[in-house]
Each structure stands twice: as C-alpha cells, then as structure tokens.
Structure 1
Amino acid sequence: MRLNKKLVWIMLFSVSTLFTQCKDSEDDVKPDDENELITSVTLNFKEAGTGATTSFSYKDADGDGGNAPTRFDTITLKANTEYTLTIAFLDESKTPVDDITEEINEESYEHLLVYTPSLASLLTYTYGDTDKNNYPIGLTGTAKAGTAGTGSLKVQLRHQPGAKNGTITPGSDDVNLDFKLTVK
C-alpha cells in the first residue's frame, strides 16, 4: 500500500511538471522594440511660393559610434521664409538600401520627430502629420525661418513603443543630430 501511494505521488508530480513545462511559447514572445540602424538622414526644405527645394544631409556609413560621419551639412535658409519640411531616413548598410522612412510611417504610433532650434528665433516648426492616435509624427511639416543668425537645429527621432503620448518622453533616440543652422 505504501509503495502504491509513492507511485501515485510520483506520477502526479511528473504529470504536473509536464503541464507546466509545455505552456504555449507565444506567451514568451516579446516584440522587437530595438532602435533602427539609420545611416543617412536628409532634410528637404521646399520654399513656399517658389517651390525650390534645398536638401541637407547627414551620412554615417556604420551608424552611431565607430567611424566619423562622412557628411554633415550646414542648413542654410532664407530669413523670414516659410518652407515645407520633409525628412528621409535610410539604412545604407544593407543591399538593397532600406528606406526606414517607410517603416517610421507604418509605425508612426511608435515614433516622434522633434525639431529644436538653438536660438529659438532662428526657426519655428509646425507638425503637418499625425498618427492614428492623433499624436504628431514630424515626417512632414512647416518650418518658418526667423531673423538672420547662426545656431543649430537638433533633429531627434524618438522611438516610443507602447508609450507615445505626443511628448519627447518616454522613449529612446533612433536619431539625435545637431545640424549647424544659418539663417540669412
């Protein structure tokens, strides 16, 4: 009788162990929320009235860290002029080149572009696009150059999976660049 009780307990323990170890593996899957590799950023300023477009780029073939960027343009704009600003992101480390702009647009509910001029009088930016939750994105908007001067324009692409609320926090930077800015 004692042997039968031990055998029953061993069998119950074995069966319960099997059930706890065979749970659905989908519960353990976590979405890939890593930051994108971006090797090229291009800002396109289309002047209101004339339609003339001027582009300014940043290129760093190996991404953040490693080798220095191979291109980092100075943004030069006309004083007191309005522009439509669009931005493009590429990962040129892949063949074919990966257009990250499309991914940002598709996952706009996880991304926010922030444009911060240092001297505030040099530029004002107004968002021209929103995500499905009506939060700004920043892939397109209006940039108005102010009075003549020099400073910088910080361009940040914030990655905010599951937490985007229309502000710069929380999240992490996919891009954080300080372009030199000249308004004349």
Structure 2
Amino acid sequence: MDILLHLESEHEGIIYIFTQKGICIYDMKKLSNFTLYVIVCIIWGCGSKEEASPKNKENEPMNTMYFACSTLDPGASSQTLEWRDWDGLGGNPPRLSGSMTLMPNTDYIAWVQLANEAGVIGSGQFMTDEIKNEMDDHAFFYQPGNASLWTITKHQLDTRGRIYDGAISFKTGNSGVIPLKITLKHQPGLKDGTLSPGSIDIEANFNITVQ
C-alpha cells in the first residue's frame, strides 16, 4: 500500500489512510489488536521511506493529470477531474473530462495522479509513483482563482520536511466557482517552498463548483 496521506478524523475512533488507489476508512473500535498493529506498521513504514533523487534528471514526460477529492465521512465516494494534452504545447487545446461539485465550508482530502498516455485513455505509463519516489526534487502547487473558497489545511511533506503536496487536505469556503491551476515543478536542489524555482513538469487548469 503506497500511502500518500494519513489523517485522523474529528469523529472519535475513525482514521483515514490515503493511498494512490483511493481512501481507506477504518473504524478503530471494530478492529482487532492485530489489525491495528498492522495498520500502524504500514503507516510508519511508508511514512519513513526515503529514496535518493537524481539531481540532474530532465523533466518527466507527462501529458495527463487526474485530480480527485473526497470528504472525510466514512463511506464517502470520490470525485475526479481529468486533464489531457497529448500533443503538447502548440497543439490542440487540452481535453477536460469530469465534473466536481463540493459542499460549502466542508473539509476534503485531495490527491493528484499523473500519466504519460499514448493517445488512448488509460494507456501508457502511470508516473505518480516515480514522482513520489523523487519527492525531494518535486513539489505540487495549487493556485485557486478564488482564494476565499479554498484553504489548504494539511500539507504532504517530502523526506526533508519541505512541501511536496501530491496529496493535501483543504476546506472550502462559501458558494462559488474555483478556477484551480495545479502545477508540478521539477526543483532538484532548488526547493524553497515556492513556485518560482525549477521548471514545469506538467500544469493543468480545472474548474470546481462549490454549492
């Protein structure tokens, strides 16, 4: 299980383990001691994993981004937006799929998945794990066009305690539309918590409705 983010709920006894494949929700009161031990080992084992990052590696070839989110409620389903730009800059406009409508003043968890598709949806190579293994050289940045409707409440950090943010938690504001730009920057040896250093691996624009 490749853990992106682990959260404890305000509901007593509920924990959320956030993975590449989605969200796992556990009711601690219903689990055996052995199962709890296994969960704790997974959380600590994955959270402490460190891998060396190549400092002079070129930008990653990626043309597809998935942005998904879910509330923290047990049994909640996720919503996903998809962005594809198969022919790159100067070609056809990016292709957008899906819709996302969020509730006002509500806590959410969100994650990004990346792929280099070969002209067919679902084909090609998923790149999410490769980027996560090189998190010390990368960072995701979320730029909402309406900042009053979007507040990040929990960041995902790299192995050196700097922002990586392949997964986040955030809270919505009042009703409105959020134009959201998500940028993955390649910042080997340059990370300072800001968007400025480095080069862009992939950048996508989405619209999210809050109502």
TM-score category of the 2 structures, normalised to the smaller one: 0.7 to 0.9
TM-score (norm 2): 0.66
Select which of 31, 36, 61 maps to 2:60.
36
Rg larger in structure:
1
**Identity between Structure 1 and Structure 2 (%):** 32
2:96 maps to a residue whose letter is R
d(CA) in 1 for partners of 2:195, 2:154: 14
Offset at 1:119?
1.1
Q: Which has the higher helix share?
A: 1
Give 1:105 shift. 0.3
Within the candidate set 102, 105, 116, 1:80 is matched to 105
Q: 2:84 matched to which residue of 1?
A: 59
**Segment drifting more, 55-64 vs 155-164:** 55-64
Q: Aligned Cα RMSD in Å?
A: 2.2
Contact 2:181 2:205 in 1 (8 A): yes
Distance 1:94 1:37, change over 3 A: farther
| Cα distance, 1:40–1:116 mapped onto 2, change above 3 Å | same
AA aligned to 1:37 is: P
Aligned pairs (5 A) from 1:79-118: 79-93=104-118, 97-118=124-145
What's the CA shift for 1:132?
1.4
Q: Which amino acid aligns with 1:106?
A: N
Structure 2 residue 173 is matched with structure 1 residue 149: no
Distance of 2:158 and 2:191 partners within structure 1: 10
Alignment partners' CA distance in 2, 1:56 and 1:168: 23
Q: How far is 1:89 from its partner? A: 0.3
> AA paired with 1:69?
P
| 1:130 has 2:157 as partner | yes
**Residue 110 and residue 94 in structure 1: after superposition, are their counterparts in 2 closer, same or farther (change >3 A)?**
farther
Gaps of 5+ in 2: 1-53
**In the TM superposition, what whole-angstrom CA distance separates every residue of 1:99-132 from its partner, at most 9, and x where no partner exists?**
1111110100111101111111111123442111
| Aligned residues between the structures | 155
Partner of 1:161: 188
Unaligned runs of 5+ in 1: 1-29
